[in-house]
Structure 1
């Protein structure tokens, strides 16, 4: 009888602890402006910690600030960072399918000045957050957002580091790499048909010409969008989830953050 009671108390204590731990991550939908355009980002942080800490600006893939970007922001918050998923497209502008997503992403990839404006607006949001330690902000990006993360760095933003996951690497202004003030980590699918070898070679030359410290990791057998479980696992489509690459790339990001934020 006593053993049963003790087990019941232990189960209740465990459940309480688990609920408490889960409740620490607070999320907020944040409206902000870029010029006359209203944007709607997503903030995640551990509200049990009142001390300033490093911040991570997350740039979404071509689907916008939706479930996937939000889940990654929460994961970053669980690691102890203040995470802000910036909105590039605008409040209420969320593609319904890949066709719409391609058109939206193409608009900003074709107008890098506008893209940088939206990126800088997101940067202002995270650097202005009282929970973020001054001078300790990194940026990460997925696919379209990887292109954006690099563009933000090329604009001369005060970043501690840049991480891209299966991101686009090209830019119309490679000379702007001289403005990059931090190390860069590229996590790439070795078989990605949307970021071809010529683009990879041009990017490496861009970094080397500008003397930017960068690390380029290519995962064999991984194609585009290798961190998104919802795209399926058929490599022949050019986009496919790769569990090994997903886990390894996240671990590389964590190691990189531990170095730049130390």
Structure 2
């Protein structure tokens, strides 16, 4: 977008430095601020595409740094170790997201609603942040790596949550979805699940291709429906 500003976005947790991106419409009045936690590739073209949708909805967007030091993997061979790092250090992901949210609040007028939107591994981090008692207007997961609460982690989430998943997702199969539904119900959380049939993991990513036998499969129909659901949820939780 020619009328969009994109700048580096720095924050830190202790000695660990993070470098994300901050995107905004020049001269626009933001109705919300969104931390976008991307899939394993970080600040990729796909993440920027997702950010563009949010900008059009009236958001200031921070694309978070998932791994620290501004590292953005370039090879699929890196996905395993990097995602394992996130899974083995879930508390660190929460701390980093909390720092990102607080830094983003400095970029918008006081009282601006702040939300988090996580894709794939970023969705796991976003939900864990919600479990930490995060004071945000909403949390959205799309084609997420779904995990129930880790040992010692609270299950109560203050914010409303929207979870958008495919029924054929091999990364987060229906068993994982069912376990998460149970956890959310027991905790009394305000969560809605949108399930898309014949839809796999990475259904939002055109680069995944459309081979129905693959582990990652793009679905333009589900991707469109997810964007519509995100827009509707954003309008609901930010209305005054």
TM-score, structure 1 as length reference: 0.86
Q: How big is the alpha-carbon RMSD for the aligned residues of Structure 1 and Structure 2?
A: 1.6
1:124 aligned onto 2:138: no
Q: 1:34 to 1:115 in 2, by over 3 A?
A: same
Alignment of 1:225-240 (within 5 A): 225-240=202-217
Q: CA deviation at 1:257?
A: 0.6
Match of 1:29 in 2: 8
Checking the alignment, whether the CA contact within 8 Å between 1:31 and 1:41 is kept in structure 2 is yes
Q: Are residues 1:245 and 2:222 paired?
A: yes
Native 8 Å contact 2:41 2:73 kept in 1:
yes
- Which structure 1 residue ranges, 5 or more long, are not aligned? 1-21
- Answering whether residue 120 of structure 2 is matched by residue 143 of structure 1, we say yes
Q: Flag as ranges the 4+ runs of structure 1 deviating above 3 A.
A: none
Q: CA deviation at 1:92?
A: 4.2
* 1:65 matched to 2:79: no
Match of 1:13 in 2: none
Aligned to 2:81: 103
**39, 55, 70: which one pairs with 2:33?**
55
Instruction: Give me the TM-score of the superposition, normalised by structure 2.
Output: 0.93
List alignment gaps of at least 5 residues for structure 2.
none
Q: Does 1:202 align with 2:202?
A: no
Deviation, 1:133, is 4.5
Question: Post-superposition shift, 1:52?
Answer: 5.2
State whether structure 2 residue 49 is matched by structure 1 residue 45. no
1:169 aligned counterpart, secondary structure: coil
**Structure with greater helix percent:** 1
* Larger Rg computed on CA atoms: 1
Task: Confirm whether residue 115 of structure 1 aligns to residue 93 of structure 2.
Answer: yes
Alpha-carbon distance change, 37 to 214 in structure 1, aligned in 2, over 3 angstroms: same
| Aligned equivalents of 2:182, 2:194: Cα separation in 1 | 16
Whole-Å separation in 2 of the counterparts to 1:79 and 1:154: 26
